[in-house]
Structure 1
Amino acid sequence: MTLDYGFIWTAFVALLEVVPVTLAITVVSVLCGFVIGASVALARQFRVPVLSQLGAAYVTFIRGTPMITHLLLIYFGLPMLIDSIAAALGLGFRSVSIPMIGFAYVSFSITAGAYMSEVVRSGLLAVDRGQLEAAHAVGMTTAQAMKRIILPQALAASLPNLSNMLIGMLHGSTLAFTVSVVEINAKAQIVATTNWKFFEAYLAAALLFWGLTFLIERLTALAERRFRRYYRGGVS
Structure 2
Amino acid sequence: MKLDISFIWQAFLQILPAIPTTLFITVLSVLIGSIIGTFTAIVRIYNVPLLSQVASGYVTIIRGTPMITHLLIIYYAVSMLLDSFSKQYHLDFNSSSIPMMAFAIISFSITAGAYLSEVVRAGILSIDRGQLEAAYSVGMTTSQTLRRIVFPQAFAVSLPNLSNTFIGMLHGSTLAFIVSVVDINAKAQIVASTNWKFFEAYIAAALIFWGITFVIERMTGLLEKRFSVFSRGGVK
The TM-score by the shorter chain falls in which range? over 0.9
1:64 deviates by 0.8
Q: Closer, same or farther in 2 for the Cα pair 1:131/1:202, shift >3 Å?
A: same
1:46-98 CA-partner distances (Å, limit 9, x unpaired) = 11111111000000110111110000001111111122333444533321110
- 1:191 is aligned to 191
Q: Does 1:152 align with 2:152?
A: yes
Report what 1:216 is aligned to.
216
1:103-136 deviation per Cα after TM superposition (whole angstroms, max 9, x unaligned): 0000000000000100100101111111111101
Indicate the larger mover: 215-224 or 81-90. 81-90
Aligned to 2:46: 46
Structure 1 match to 2:164: 164
Gaps of 5+ in 2: none
CA distance in 1: counterparts of 2:31 and 2:111, whole angstroms: 12
2:2 counterpart SS class? coil
1:56 aligns with 2:49: no
Q: Equivalents in 1 of 2:166, 2:15: separation in Å?
A: 20
Alignment partners' CA distance in 2, 1:205 and 1:223: 27
Q: Distance in 2 between matches of 1:210 and 1:87?
A: 46
Deviation at 1:232, TM superposition (A): 1.6
- The equivalent of 2:181 in structure 1 is 181
Partner Cα distance (1:143, 1:85) in 2 = 38
How many angstroms apart in 2 are the aligned matches of 1:178 and 1:164? 24
Determine the C-alpha separation between the residues in 2 that align with 1:170 and 1:233.
34
List alignment gaps of at least 5 residues for structure 1. Answer: none
Secondary structure at 1:48 match in 2: coil
Judging changes above 3 Å, is the alpha-carbon distance between structure 1 residues 111 and 144 closer, same or farther for their aligned structure 2 residues? same
Paired position in structure 2 for 1:116: 116
Alpha-carbon distance in 2 for matches of 1:36, 1:146:
16
Structure 1 residue 15 and structure 2 residue 34: aligned?
Answer: no
Point out 4+ residue stretches in structure 1 off by more than 6 angstroms: none
SS at match of 1:18: helix
Q: What SS does the aligned partner of 2:139 have?
A: coil
Tell me the C-alpha RMSD between the 2 structures. Answer: 1.2
Q: Distance in 2 between matches of 1:218 and 1:3?
A: 31
C-alpha separation in 1, matches of 2:85 and 2:140 = 44
> Structure 2: how far apart are the matches of 1:90 and 1:147?
46
Deviates more, 1:223-232 or 1:162-171: 223-232
Q: 1:94 aligned to 2:94?
A: yes
Partner of 1:226: 226
The code of the aligned residue for 1:176 comes to A
Normalising by the residue count of structure 2, what TM-score does the alignment of the two structures yield? 0.97
Read off the aligned partner of 2:53 and give its amino acid letter: Q
Query: In structure 2, how many angstroms separate the alpha carbons of the residues matched to 1:89 and 1:134?
Result: 56
Q: Percent identity?
A: 65
Deviation at 1:233, TM superposition (A): 1.8
CA distance in 2, matches of 1:2, 1:96: 43
